[in-house]
Amino acid sequence: MTRVTVVHNTEAGDDALDEKELLSLLRRAGFRPDYHSIESRSWMTALKDPADLVVVAGGDGTIAKVARRLAGRSVPMAILPAGTANNIARTFGLCRDPRTLIAELAHARPTPVDVGVARGPTGERLFLEAAGVGVFARLMSEGRRSLDSDWLSGREQIAGAIDLLRRLVKSAAATACTIVADGIAVSDKHLAVEVMNIRSIGPRITLAPDADPRDGLFDVITVPERDREELERIVDAGTPGEVIVAAFTCTRARDVTVSWDRAPAHVDDDLWPESGGGEEAMRAAGPASMRATILPGALEVLLSATAFGHDAHGDEAPRRRARGR
């Protein structure tokens, strides 16, 4: 039997596999699992010397944590989505029943995917999803206080995140930003600037519908003040379980620097730089800058030959919102 290192978030999602069923399915598929819960610290130690395959069962946060530790190493990662938004799995075409995905693991192949590096005055951080500034960073900051509760179902968390994002888009002040993408600079007041490696962010808002984390390029999405009404329409159209596809200006680049004044920023689902003072302390700190560069093919993800050929947004049919211009 092939030995696999398993990292499992038992608290993710509404219908996540429990430890017993997960291990039983893996053994039935021909694997010998070395199990670690994300709630313990043993998974970090295990990833220093993992098996030939790492299986991650959890949501976007769990998947990104493991991906950051495997980047640059020849150890493939298999994803069993069990979170609320599952934005990473949707990009890879993996939003299917984890029992089916486990049965297919023996025939899947390692696929090189890109990883981003965000650098700033306080250091650097790898990211798999996105790095940015503006309303989605505010959503992450405020959502932790109001939505991160065990008693809320995944569907209720998505609904709550859409409602919170709706209020933030209506009330947030646009931030003066300068974006330099592969040497070309643009300045404007923005509600959001997102350097996307995958397609979706937050409560399944597909900001970069054509992003391909295998192409060696970021999709840089900008939402200037003049597009506030468009962003409001997109968020207003959101319902739990539905994928909403945005249509904003996208620039493809390998090297992106974003400079801004007094606004929260994030790398994946963490505020950045990490600050004990929260969003207010970050805004009070004044001007900030982040440089994002791409590491092409730095991570291997186990995918079937047809994963990207299927609807990469999952089983739901996404609705593309026209710009109206």
Residues 45 and 157 reside in one and the same domain: no
Residues 42 and 178 reside in one and the same domain: no
Residues 253 and 306 reside in one and the same domain: no
Residues 148 and 91 reside in one and the same domain: no
Q: Determine, yes or no, domain membership for 325.
A: no
Q: Determine, yes or no, domain membership for 212.
A: yes
Model confidence, pTM? 0.89
Residues 104 and 164 reside in one and the same domain: no
Residues 130 and 237 reside in one and the same domain: yes
The per-residue pLDDT string of the chain (325 residues; one tens digit each, 9 = 90 and over) reads: 799 999 999 887 656 789 999 999 999 999 999 999 999 989 999 999 999 999 999 999 999 999 999 999 999 999 999 888 899 999 999 988 889 999 999 899 999 999 999 999 878 999 999 999 999 999 998 887 666 545 455 678 888 899 999 999 999 999 999 999 999 999 999 999 999 999 999 998 999 999 999 999 999 999 999 999 999 988 887 666 667 787 899 999 999 999 998 888 999 999 988 655 455 555 555 579 999 999 999 999 999 866 764 444 444 434 343 343 2
CATH of the domain at 200: 2.60.200.40
Residues 314 and 250 reside in one and the same domain: no
Q: Supply the range of the domain harboring residue 273.
A: 116-296
Pairing of strands 265-267, 123-127: unpaired
CATH of the domain at 40: 3.40.50.10330
252: Cβ contacts below 8 Å, ≥ 6 apart: 217, 218, 219, 220
Closest C-alpha to 271, from 137, 172, 151? 137
* CB neighbours of residue 40 within 10 Å: 10
Q: Determine, yes or no, domain membership for 203.
A: yes
Residues 105 and 161 reside in one and the same domain: no
Residues 90 and 107 reside in one and the same domain: yes
Residues 171 and 288 reside in one and the same domain: yes
Number of domains into which the chain is organized: 2
Closest C-alpha to 57, from 107, 23, 93, 91? 23
300: Cβ contacts below 8 Å, ≥ 6 apart: 70, 74, 75, 76, 77, 110, 111, 112, 113
Residues 6 and 120 reside in one and the same domain: no
Residues 140 and 21 reside in one and the same domain: no
Using CA atoms, how far residue 310 sits from 95, 291, 299, in Å, is 10, 33, 21
